[in-house]
Amino acid sequence: MRQRICQLLAYCLLACSLISSPAHAAGYTQTRYPIVLVHGLFGFDNIGPVDYFYGIASALRSGGAQVYITQVSAANSTEVRGEQLLTQVRQILAATGASKVNLIGHSHGGPTSRYVASVRPDLVASVTSIGGVNKGSRVADVLIGAVPDVTYGVANAVSGFISFLSGNPTLPQNARAAATSLSTAGTLAFNQRHPQGVPVSACGEGDYQVNGVYYFSWSGAQPYTNLLDVSDPVLALTSLAFNGAKNDGLVSSCSSHLGRVIRDDYALNHLDEVNQMVGISNLFETNPVTLFRQQANRLQGMGL
């Protein structure tokens, strides 16, 4: 009898040790490699209490993820922003001791992340493009043809002010270079130099893995989603540039495709995708924060 009791106690201790071990106690968003968030055009890390990725970093951290929010030029070419991001990735790796990072980029942050994965694939485990301008934006095409030179000066001033407010006043700004990078012609040239994960068909999927880097994408397809959001009328207006093609107000669904397409038709617009403005999005669609958490869990399941 005493021997059976000792055996039961031993089994209980073994079970408890397994349950409490790190492998079994990983949180829902706890990835192997740090998650690095990369903002889009006219973006920032945070301005006062407002994060560009509103409420997303904290939600990921609450599930166990290591999360870093980067700051690159609010407006500049993809290559310039990419080099700035690469510097920060190296700093993150040095600080954490990790060998790679998981890059998650929104809008222009998508190709910015792709640049780093292309030139230093050894430092990147995955790239997730959210509403990414991977094959250009019709809005950028229209603006390049219609905007006078003086407007670029104003845009540079606005970009500089954004960087100043977010604590990075020395970052160079070049709105014309940004517009060129985001145009159909500009992204075509960029994709010829950095083709990893880009679909070869007009609206298909790209390679899921290239040079050890996994590629994912998702996006919204409803420009107007909430009457209380002051940015929605603007996105509804810019959506007219797509001539009826499915889009999120600034990027067409097909242009957002990269690698494995998780979904390209969430009832969200371009700002909803990062939980802006300040959390006001479509009440009848999956919360954007949840989508980020799901992606982190997806990466966790792949050992990334």
Spot the catalytic one: 73, 77, 106, 107: 107
**Can you tell me the distance from the alpha carbon of 167 to that of 82, in angstroms, rounded to the nearest whole number?**
19
Catalytic residue among 108, 194, 257, 270: 270
Helix (H) or strand (E) run with residue 12 in it? helix 2-20
Q: Cα 37 to the chain's mean position, in Å?
A: 6
Query: What phi and psi, each to the nearest 5 degrees, are found at residue 35?
Result: -95, 130
Which residues, listed in sequence order, are joined to residue 130 by a DSSP beta bridge?
A: 106, 218
Whether 39 is a known active-site residue: answer no
Residue 232 known to be catalytic? no
Residues 152, 136: Cα–Cα separation, whole Å? 19
Task: Find the catalytic residue in 207, 248, 264, 272.
Answer: 248
Let me know if 99 is a catalytic residue. Answer: no
Provide φ and ψ at 71, rounded to 5°.
Answer: -130, 115
Contacts of 106 (CB under 8 A, 6+ apart): 37, 38, 39, 40, 43, 52, 53, 130, 131, 132, 273, 274
Tell me which residues are annotated as active site.
107, 248, 270
